[in-house]
Amino acid sequence: MKLHNQVAVVTGAASGMGKAIAELYAQEGAKVIVADLNLEGAEQVAQGIVSSGGTAKALKVNIAQLSDIENMIDTAVSEYGTLDILVNNAGIMDGFEPVGDITEEKWDRIFDINTKGVMRATRKALPVFLEKGKGVIVNTASTGGYNGAHAGAAYTASKHAVVGLTKNTGFMYAAQGIRCNAIAPGAVMTNIQASMNGLSEFGVSRTRLTQGLIPRAGSPEEIAKVALFLASDDASFLNGTVVTADAGWTSAF
């Protein structure tokens, strides 16, 4: 098993990519904190893992709340003794609004979840990793993290920030045995659309120009395999980088 006896926290793990990552990590021997605002969904995932012979605990976490994030990391350590892997996967979409149409409220909400939540969870996990002399962080970025035509202004900016934070964290703590990498998924079949509201007709029409080039949509399980690679010793020489998983979509431009 690639993650035998390791402890992992996965945010946004009640569905989609987070669910697939939590389940695959458990299959590979990890003890998993299944963190999500949707506690019922998180409990279903955790119960499924346990019934399959794995180890997991569901935890209700609002990634926009500092107290929830700190409790999440503290729970992993108190429940399983340590923390080895942090997967910052939770995120929401905007409504494809260009900068001229984005509201202050929506901008702040998207950044609180997509970017500040990643920073806060990483900051809380770092003392544990530094004391151990090792640790792994896997962030879910997006092809929208280095491209301007895949979402609205807020989501695009928030994921660009995640890419920058990933690179900086990987560089800053490389000598302390900590690796921080990100995955940039393209189109993936998840329920992130449920977080979208008040779609901008103009923004949607502009992003269609690139969406027509998508070779195919990926499955959450395909992204989970990338997350497993990055968390495992197979990726021991990867740090501060972003792995694009989009079936070749962004290779076109």
Positions marked catalytic: 155
As given in the structure block, the two tokens for residue 28 are 């590979």
In whole angstroms, what separates CA 57 from the centre of its chain? 18
List, in sequence order, every residue forming a beta bridge with 3; answer none if it has no partner: none
Q: Which amino acid is at 78?
A: S
Q: For residue 232, count other CB atoms closer than 10 A to its CB.
A: 17
